[in-house]
A and B are shown apart, each in its own frame.
Chain A
Amino acid sequence: MESFDRLSAGAAPLMRINIDTDQIIPTRFLLRTTTAGLGEALFADWRLLADGTPNPEFILNRAPWSEARIMLADSNFGCGSSREEAPRALRQAGFRAVIAPSFGEIFFGNCFRNGLLPVRLDADALKLIVTQVEASDGRAQVCVDLVAERVTAPGGETFAFSTPALLRQMLLEGLDEIDLTLGLAQRIEAFREADARRRPWAYARKAGR
């Protein structure tokens, strides 16, 4: 998994509350057997017109916003489904970080597992950043620093954010969660042996036992 430590990049604002996972990636794009190609389906119902051509009004279809690698969003971004294609679509479309006052809980965790950094900043901080970004017609850069846990606005103002320690470590080191867990293999085995004696019906479940 690609690691993330610090990024200075253009930021695109999509300030609507409760953007749910069905908007981030409509379910009709989930019928696929590979995990590639999700970037084109990002926000498809907004990005595309009824005839399938790009909607010229939608911000991500216009330069320089189309090159943005940071998304600025509003409350409860990513609410709804647990589908991991939502953060993957954002990642494959080029985004490396999303900044919002709050995120759907399942989506938040899924972001870290897919190399996308979700940053929680309060609404006032976001408002300031969005204002500056829009005033520059998308040319100004926002810096997201996972090492220092700090966002720097185009105008230089800084805002601290927090991330769960383990998820932060994984994203900084590009580490796989499974590797971390398998390091505890002995404890897992010991637990399961004792647990299988206490709750045998939760193990080796075959019909009729």
Chain B
Amino acid sequence: MSSMQTGRPRSFFEKVWDDHVIADLGDNTYLLQVDCLFLHEVSGGVALRELQQQGRGVASPDQVYTVNDHVVSIRPERKPGEGRNAVATAMIGETLDASRRFGLTTFPIGDPRQGIVHVISPELGLALPGVTLVCADSHTCTVGGVGSLGWGIGSSEGVHVLATQTLRQVKPRTMRIRFEGELAPGVYAKDLALHLVGRLGANGGIGYAVEFAGSTIRTLPVEGRFTLCNMATEFSARYAFVAPDELTYAYLAGREFAPRGDAWDDALRYWRTLPGDPGATFDAEFVIDASTVAPQVTWGTSPQQVAAIDAQVPDAEQFDDPGARQLLARALDYQRLRPGTRLDSIPIDVAYIGSCTNARLSDLQAAAQVLAGHKVAPGVLAICVPGSTPVKRAAEALGLDQIFRDAGFEWLESGCAMCATGGADRLADKRVISTTNRNFEGRQGPRTRTHLASPATVAASALAGHIADARRR
């Protein structure tokens, strides 16, 4: 049963928000209950140490979880607690020690459930519809794919949640983006997401809670919904989500931390009241024809600098705004690209499949479909890092690992890996096509030039040795 029936039609977001308000603090700021806090090894140990130094304890240890993903080793023989270097190993150790002292549930290397936080939180049934979930990572909005309200926080907010299991939040405006029409063959959630960032711009969602809706979304598999919600932070949405439906419940049923039996039935009854009421209004709303979206690839150094794969690197002439021209010139200089070059002709050095954006089982299946029976082009380094250990094992049970290996991909252990700096030594000064979420200057390595795309596009590009359209294979 959902509470606070005001009699006015409410959107999904308004219902979830209302159900978590502990106090109205004025100034459009509210104290919200936080149902789930995830710590990871980069900031978790630091936050717990600060808490201890403040002489405080963890308010609700059963609602705090520690993962190891950001700086874990991904080599096949990795040992428990092993980081990508000595400092990383120390951070992992400190975070795990502190987590255990405070009685938190942990998912370290060696635990079969270990993986990237935004992959495992729904996999475990910890991200559930209508749950508020926070983590010191800007892609926490990923969990909106199962109708959780997830967002990224700073590490002192993390200490606040540890000490109080609450957070102060400014109530955002609401936006609904409806995708209508069927996705064309070979077009995936990642392409929709990139197209959207291109349309809205890097700032287009500032101050908004964004609901993805429409016929395309209703039939989009849950793993695709994660991808779409994940990328929402790239247009600066504060929250992003898809209201739960039967696909959501089918995904979550039977998961380890999901309710069971009568508790599941009760939860289901509550969740079914959450989708927006007819007549609910939004501060902003628009519709996108999903059927016309083509596979996308970024050309620049911001996710908004993106185009269809058969388009050309743009020219400064195309932009009226001097600020945009300046950005363009700088991006082309860093990326070492010339205006007019067809995107699907740009040679690549590295193909990377991984990250909380696109390394779930369906992503690996989409890539494997392209790779099967073919080989990576000579000179191309190809790497696959599954999103979680369960994903890796499920892929292996289906023989996908063999397809990747036969094609010439490295098949590694799960972690955030090369999304940001994890491969700096191997990716330095290279051109990388990647299923990740950011193409900022230097993110994947010093002087690394990143192009973002879907797993199918990355796979096709690995085979071709240049950015390539998977539909053409």
Contacts and interface: CB of A to CB of B under 8 A. Distances in A.
B180 interface: no
B88 A31 contact: yes
B442 A22 contact: yes
B325 to A, nearest CB: 11
Interface residues of B, number: 77
Nearest to B137: A82
Interface string B331-359: 00000000000000000000000000000
Contacts of B424: 28
B309 interface: no
A187 B56 CA distance: 19
B138 A106 contact: yes
B128 interface: yes
B54 interface: yes
B220 interface: no
Interface in B1-51: 1, 3, 19, 22-23, 25-27, 29, 31, 33, 35-36, 42-43, 45-46
B126 A205 contact: yes
Contacts of B266: 200-201
Interface of A: 17-18, 20, 22-23, 26-28, 30-35, 45, 75-76, 79-84, 102, 104-106, 109-110, 113-114, 164-166, 176-178, 181-182, 184, 187-188, 191-192, 195, 198-209
Closest 10 CB pairs of A and B: A82-B152, A84-B154, A201-B259, A110-B154, A31-B87, A113-B156, A202-B35, A191-B22, A82-B138, A27-B421
Main SS class of interface, A: loop
A35 B323 CA distance: 35
B360 interface: no
B163 interface: yes
Contacts of A34: 46
A206 B61 CA distance: 11
A198 B22 contact: no
Contacts of A84: 43, 136, 154-156
17 contacts: A18-B327, A26-B442, A82-B136, A84-B156, A105-B206, A106-B152, A177-B160, A181-B31, A184-B31, A195-B19, A198-B270, A199-B267, A202-B35, A202-B128, A206-B62, A208-B260, A209-B260
A75 B203 CA distance: 10
Contacts of B443: 22, 27
Nearest to A32: B87
- Greatest chain B CB density within 10 A among A34, A102, A181, A206 is at A181
Contact of B440 (A80, A109, A182): A80
Given A33-B46, A80-B440, A166-B25, A191 B33 contact: yes
Interface string B412-438: 000000001100100000000000001
Interface in B252-297: 256-260, 263, 266-267, 270
Contacts of A113: 154, 156-157
B27 A201 contact: no
Contacts of A166: 25-27, 29, 168
B63 to A, nearest CB: 7
Interface in B58-78: 62-63, 71
B316 interface: no
A177 B23 CA distance: 15
B131 interface: yes
Nearest to A27: B421
Contact of A192 (B33, B105, B138, B170): B33
Contacts of A187: 22-23
A23 B214 CA distance: 37
Given A33-B90, A105-B207, A184-B31, A17 B128 contact: no
A33 B45 contact: yes
A207 B154 contact: no
B302 A18 contact: yes
A104 B27 CA distance: 20
A22 B257 contact: no
A176 B152 CA distance: 20
A19 B154 CA distance: 18
